Amino acid sequence: MDRAAQRRWGLRLAVSKAVPVSTGNLLDVSALAVVRDRNVRTQWSSGVADDFKRSQVRARTEGRFGLDVYKPKGIVTLDLGVTA
């Protein structure tokens, strides 16, 4: 794994502690999509605690989101364990 480039076998990686050791998920980007309704709202604020002093801005986005799966075979779980 190329940790600096976040790649393995030429594919982009997203590392997560939520995935068990020796397993992985491989996704075809055309296999699924995040969908939303038309009522997505975003609010911005710099007036929380010391945000202004630290030059930080907070955003809160609300909406109804879903996941559409177009190609179920484009989403797989990998067993990366060592075989004997």
Q: Write down the residue that tokens 């020796």 correspond to.
A: 22
Strand partners, 65: 36
Examine the pLDDT at 55 and tell me if it is beyond 70: yes
pLDDT bin (cut points 50, 70, 90) of residue 33 is very high
Give the start-end residues of each E strand in the chain: 7-8, 11-12, 23-27, 32-36, 41-45, 58-62, 65-69, 75-79
Name the residue ranges covered by the structural domains of the chain: 7-79
pLDDT at 2: 67
Quick count: other Cβ atoms within 10 Å of Cβ 81? Answer: 9
Q: Please tell me the distance from the alpha carbon of residue 51 to that of residue 57, in angstroms, as a whole number.
A: 6
Examine the pLDDT at 74 and tell me if it is beyond 70: yes
pTM for this one?
A: 0.53
Examine the pLDDT at 71 and tell me if it is beyond 90: yes
Q: Please tell me the distance from the alpha carbon of residue 46 to that of residue 54, in angstroms, as a whole number.
A: 9
pLDDT at 84: 59
